[in-house]
Amino acid sequence: MVLPPEQAAAAAFLNNVMGKLFQALGLVDTYKMLRDLEPESESLQLELRMLAAAVDDELTASKGARRAAVARAYSAEMRALTHDIEDCVERFVHRVAGGGAAASKLRRAACAVTTLRTCYRFAAEIKRLKKRVLEVRARVLKPLDGGGGGGQPSGSRPAAGRRTADHAARHPVGIERPMEELLALLDLEGPLRPPAPTPAAAQPRVIAIVGFGGAGKTTLARAVYEAAAVADAFPCRAWVAVRSPEDGDAVEILGSIHQQLLPEQQYWESLITKYLKDKRYLIVIDDVDGIEEEQWDIITSAFEGNGEGSRIIVTTTFRSTAKRRSDANGCVYKMRTLGMRDSMTIALRGKCAAELMRGSETLLKKCDGLPLALVSVARQLSSEDEPTGKFCSELSSRLGSYLEREDSEPNFARLRDVLIDNYTSLSDLTIRTCLLYLGIFPIDRPLRKSVIIRRWLAEGYARSEDITLTEQSVADGNFKTFIDRNIITPVISKNAEVKTCKTHGIMHEFLLHRSLCEKFITCSRTPRDKIVRHLFVHGDVGSDTNSSATWNMDLSRVRSLTVRGSGGDAISDFCKYKLIRVLDLEECTDVKDSHLKKICKLWNLRYLSLSNKITRLPKEIAKLKLLETLALSKTVVTALPVEVIGLPCLINLIGKCNLLVQDCTPSGELEEHSKCKKLEELCRNSKLETLAGFVVDGGQIQGFLQLIVHMKYLRKVKIWCESTEDVTDFNDLNNDLVKAIRQYTRTPMGAGCDRSMSIDFQGLPGGSLRALRDLYNHRMSLQETYYLSSLKLKGDLSMSHEFVAIVSGLTELCLSSTTMAHDLLLSLSAMPYLLYLTLIGDEIEDFVIKVGTFQCLRRLRFVLQHENPVLPEIEEGALPELISLQVPCKNLDGLSGIEIRHLRKLQEIELHPKVSKPARQ
């Protein structure tokens, strides 16, 4: 086991220094106990990993009510043990490390001697914790050894998700538009026979319908399958429902299809192929999640292309499965949730009394348009003689319990199975913890992916036994898993990457209730727990966040505090939070500058975000030695103390600030030189990767712009260039920008590495930036190469198009300017690696995207503000890899010179919601 630097230093000091002292005092037994701290800690963590593996095995083997109960009990105990061990180690390291490896030997010796009692207590606590682990492990392994956890074989898919595999609503609501869209994917025009198939439609196209469990995938597929137009267009049809892993066998599926097409003949795989050779057929396979890749290959090999425009429809819960199944010649259809009107139609069954509609509003919002959730609510309401708004309100407050407890209301059984399956079928305790953590965030607004990831990392919830994986890659992988399962739905996607998202409403309700029951999260409204780990304060108007009864709990072990609204007593004394890692005050309305002095004493803090009530940061922030993320984007802080640069673990600095000028301009020339050298040294030791961002105005002697040339780990930089009244000469600013950009972009990027830069220079006179032109001249005269993966420029680009075109390795480009000139677009067309292009402005000059240009481009976005926007013309055969065309222009009148049918791989078109209906058509 590799120990953290401070812990390793403490352990080494105990062995080398304290050992001699104890031997001299005759305390050999005591020394032996303390000397064994490191192996005891390692043994304890090994036992914990073994226990976690046993819990995962138990959950895999269990099912039904036992599965839910086991998951709840074991997961809660595992997390409590993990937290207690981490608390113990962190307290010990903080008290004994004596300032860490950087401190002098004398200081560390003095610290260790004075904290001898702490060392002794720690050794005893480690032994007690190890005993607890062994006791829990015995409880877990006992039922496994006795066969009590029998059920499914390890690795098989739980049965919970199978109950709805072949279920379709008899009278579906809100299905008209999805049916029209799916019929279009079948190439049906109107209720009669389709036109002759095009060459692209000659092969059997696979259409994958994907969505969260209970979203109505089967209902939609069945409605299309039974539509009269489909029956006329496809003489040969077959429907197969995969209800269990055994049904996913290729022989079983092909046998079922054979039985429907050729009921009188004995099954033979080649007979299906021969029979369908000259026929137009439609095959629907409902729920392909349990079909392995080899089996799928066998299935598809039976359906050869015959030029008749045949189709295969599959349904799946996983986005990755949908993409794989439709990869060759198909497309993915993503299910959408229902709107409020359709939700009320299903849940209230036509009842429209004002009191009932008002009382059911919160309940329906929690259902989030999921048909299965709405049907469950409808059944529950139908069991009441006279359902009222008050009953709906009470049902809303009990909904989490109905979703999470196996012995709760039977009307929610199918929905409960879907939700529990989504949770317990995750691979291990770590990813399940990351999922539970989502319950902390509010459901009524989009969440930034970066915030979720950074908080997971700060909490230590993205660790892996695989030493080849970084915590960042584990966190990214967990987030991708939740997107893949549609647990998290994208709200805004930045190219192929999700930028903001939200947890599915009904899943969030399940996670929040489970988190509260397992004491993983504590809400200020229901403070029943004495030991609190993750505290969420919801200080709305009318709530009492200052009640003594509310805060009669131990806050010393709180790992995270998230405040929305008034913090009240929760933020009255930050000294109560002894081990806090995450402090999210971005939406706190009563945090003030005066609170920061105590916040700066939170030695274990890893993540800090502050609200718009904060105007300045104190120099004491230097005490936050473990801080990884400092988020100031919501504050009004404009200048940072230079101590921020010296934070040894700081990785992400978010805001719009610069360094305090007076800290960098001492009176004497020698002193000035000394301080500048010290700043440069701090920057060379900095671990800062994200600096987004800082302001330059040409008036600073030593700010971020001059210092980033010394920061070797930077991967993301955002710069605002502004003018001030007292600065008229921008030569120094341009020269510093040239130097900073050359240094930042000169190192080649390795495979899979990202390096992004964003410069907003609208605030300069004329909105132009001479530095970009100078960089181009440097490139021509010195044969330099600039390496970036992502570039964003905002301002007058008329003199900058040459620079954009010479950036090597650029895959993402966003340009914002009043007019997109022809020369600029022409220079972009030859960029060899460009995948994502966004153009924002009033208008685009006449331009034709020709064959042979933008060969790799996958996503193209135009945002034009002109009253009559005109888009570039796209030649037939151009943009061979384009999968997404985004034109969110409110005044758009058609796609002008763009012929959609020429874009062979196009999968989605995004338009402004207020675009006229004729333009959409």
- Residue 771: CB atoms within 10 Å: 24
Handedness of CA 869, 870, 872, 874 (dihedral sign): positive
- Residue 209: CB atoms within 10 Å: 26
Which residues have a Cβ under 8 Å from the Cβ of 647 and sit 6 or more positions away?
621, 622, 624, 625, 627, 630
Closest CA to 282 of 313, 321, 324, 248: 313
Beta strand 639-640 with 690-696 is unpaired
Helix axes 116-145, 28-35, angle to 10 degrees: 60
pLDDT at 31: 44
Please give the structure tokens belonging to residue 470. 């970084």
pLDDT at 191: 35
CA pair distance 742, 786, nearest whole angstrom: 7
Q: Is 459:581 a contact under the CB 8 Å cutoff?
A: yes
pLDDT at 147: 46
Query: CA Rg, the chain, in Å?
Result: 31
Longest Cα–Cα distance of the chain, Å, equals 101
CA pair distance 240, 251, nearest whole angstrom: 12
Amino acid of residue 127? K
Closest CA to 626 of 608, 644, 646, 650: 650
What is the three-state SS of 238-301? Answer: EEEECCCHHHHCHHHHHHHHHHHHCCCCCCCHHHHHHHCCCCCEEEEEECCCCCCHHHHHHHHH
Ranges of residues in the chain with a pLDDT under 70 are 1-75, 95-120, 139-169, 189-203, 328, 526-529, 540-551, 661-673, 698-702, 725-729, 751-752, 894-897, 915-921
Q: Which helix (H) or strand (E) holds 819?
A: strand 819-820
* Residues comprising the chain, all counted: 921
Amino acid of residue 366? K
H helices within 352-424, ranges in order? Answer: 354-359, 361-367, 371-382, 389-404, 413-424
Q: Is 742:786 a contact under the CB 8 Å cutoff?
A: yes
CA pair distance 290, 243, nearest whole angstrom: 9
Q: Which helix (H) or strand (E) holds 625?
A: none
pTM: 0.86
Which residues have a Cβ under 8 Å from the Cβ of 895 and sit 6 or more positions away?
871, 887
Closest CA to 555 of 581, 539, 541, 534: 534
The SS3 of residue 781 is helix
Q: Is 490:446 a contact under the CB 8 Å cutoff?
A: no
Tell me, rounded to whole angstroms, the distance of Cα 201 from its chain centroid. 36
Closest CA to 14 of 48, 44, 41: 41
Q: Is 346:375 a contact under the CB 8 Å cutoff?
A: yes
CA pair distance 383, 494, nearest whole angstrom: 46
CA pair distance 741, 687, nearest whole angstrom: 19
**Cβ burial, residue 675 (10 Å; 0-12/13-18/19+):** middle
pLDDT at 821: 81
**Cβ burial, residue 731 (10 Å; 0-12/13-18/19+):** exposed
pLDDT at 197: 46
pLDDT at 160: 40
Please give the structure tokens belonging to residue 496. 């192929």
Closest CA to 850 of 883, 832, 824, 826: 826
Which residues have a Cβ under 8 Å from the Cβ of 782 and sit 6 or more positions away?
none
**Cβ burial, residue 817 (10 Å; 0-12/13-18/19+):** buried
H helices within 604-726, ranges in order? Answer: 669-685, 704-707
CA pair distance 869, 841, nearest whole angstrom: 10
Amino acid of residue 537? V
Q: Is 82:45 a contact under the CB 8 Å cutoff?
A: no
Closest CA to 906 of 914, 894, 918, 898: 898
